[in-house]
Amino acid sequence: MPKEKVLVVDDEAAIRYTLAEAMRGWGFDPVEAGTIAEALELFDIEQPLVVLQDVNLPDGSGLDALREYKSRQPQCVVIMITGNVMLDDTLSAMRGGAYDFIAKPINLRELQVTIRNGIETGQLRREVKAIRSEQARQFSFEQIIGHSPAMKDMIALARKVAASEASSVLLQGESGTGKDLVAKAIHYSSGRVDQHFVAINLAAIPGTLIESELFGHEKGSFTDAKSRKEGLFEQAQGGTIFLDEIGELELNLQAKLLRVLEEGSFRRVGGLKDLPLDIRIIASSNRDLRSESEAGHFRLDLYYRLSVIQIDLPPLRKRGDDVLMLANYYITYFNRTLRKRIRGLSPEVEEVFLNYQWPGNVRELRNVIERVLILEDTDQISTTWLPRDLLRGIKADFHEDTFHASARAGGSGESIAGRYILPENGVNLEEFELSLVQQAMHRSGGNQTRAAELLGISRDQLRYRLKKLDESGAELGF
pLDDT of the residue at 476: 62
Q: Are 55 and 67 in contact (CB under 8 A)?
A: no
pLDDT at residue 395 tops 60: no
pLDDT at residue 471 tops 90: no
CATH H-level superfamily of 400-471: Homeodomain-like (1.10.10.60)
SS3 414: strand
Q: Which residues contact 199 (CB under 8 A, 6 or more apart)?
A: 180, 183, 241, 242, 244
- Burial of residue 2 (CB within 10 Å: 0-12, 13-18, 19+) is exposed
Between 472 and 435, the higher pLDDT residue:
435
Q: Which residues contact 52 (CB under 8 A, 6 or more apart)?
A: 6, 7, 8, 9, 10, 19, 79, 81, 102, 115
How far is residue 349's CA from residue 454's CA, in Å, rounded to a whole number? 23
pLDDT digits (tens, 9 = 90+) for 330-346: 999 999 999 999 999 99
Nearest to 313 by CA among 143, 157, 160, 138: 157
pLDDT at residue 232 tops 90: yes
pLDDT at residue 80 tops 70: yes
What percent of the chain clears pLDDT 70, i.e. is strictly above it?
A: 88
DSSP H or E stretch at residue 337 = helix 322-338
pLDDT of the residue at 61: 87
Long-range contacts of 367-376 (CB under 8 A, 24+ apart): 369/327, 369/330, 369/331, 369/334, 370/330, 370/334, 370/338, 373/331, 373/334, 373/335, 373/338, 373/340, 373/342, 374/338, 376/340, 376/342
Confidence of residue 464 (pLDDT cuts 50, 70, 90): confident
pLDDT at residue 396 tops 60: no
How far is residue 272's CA from residue 241's CA, in Å, rounded to a whole number? 23
Between 288 and 409, the higher pLDDT residue:
288
Neighbours of 366 (CB within 10 A): 18
The CATH number of domain 5-131 is 3.40.50.2300: yes
pLDDT at residue 217 tops 90: no
CATH number of 317-393: 1.10.8.60
CA 64 to chain centre: 37
Q: Are 175 and 286 in contact (CB under 8 A)?
A: yes
pLDDT digits (tens, 9 = 90+) for 244-272: 999 999 999 999 999 999 999 988 888 88
Nearest to 213 by CA among 201, 223, 195: 201
Alpha helices for 140-243 (secondary structure H): 149-163, 179-188, 207-215, 232-235
Q: Are 240 and 190 in contact (CB under 8 A)?
A: yes
Confidence of residue 318 (pLDDT cuts 50, 70, 90): very high
For the chain, domain boundaries:
5-131, 139-314, 317-393, 400-471
Phi, psi of 108 (to 5 degrees): -65, -35
pLDDT at residue 404 tops 60: no
Identical topology for domains 5-131 and 317-393: no
CA distances to 59, 103, 162, 299 from 143, in Å: 48, 50, 15, 35
Question: Structurally, what CATH architecture does the domain formed by 139-314 represent?
Answer: 3-Layer(aba) Sandwich (3.40)
Confidence of residue 90 (pLDDT cuts 50, 70, 90): low
Nearest to 76 by CA among 42, 122, 21: 122
pLDDT at residue 423 tops 70: no
pLDDT at residue 175 tops 90: yes
Mean pLDDT (whole number) for 90-99? 71
Nearest to 66 by CA among 107, 7, 19: 7
pLDDT of the residue at 406: 40
pLDDT of the residue at 418: 41
What percent of the chain clears pLDDT 90, i.e. is strictly above it?
A: 53
Between 328 and 452, the higher pLDDT residue:
328
pLDDT digits (tens, 9 = 90+) for 268-294: 888 888 889 999 999 999 999 999 999
Between 444 and 24, the higher pLDDT residue:
24
Between 88 and 33, the higher pLDDT residue:
33
Confidence of residue 401 (pLDDT cuts 50, 70, 90): very low
Nearest to 39 by CA among 11, 20, 12, 76: 11
Nearest to 359 by CA among 90, 159, 135, 176: 176
Q: Are strands 265-266 and 275-276 parallel, antiparallel or unpaired?
A: antiparallel
Mean pLDDT (whole number) for 304-321? 94
∠ CA 43-57-72, nearest 5°, is 25
pLDDT at residue 377 tops 60: yes
Confidence of residue 380 (pLDDT cuts 50, 70, 90): very high
Average pLDDT, the chain: 85
Which of 111-115, 138-142, 152-156, 442-446 has the largest mean confidence?
A: 152-156
pLDDT of the residue at 467: 79
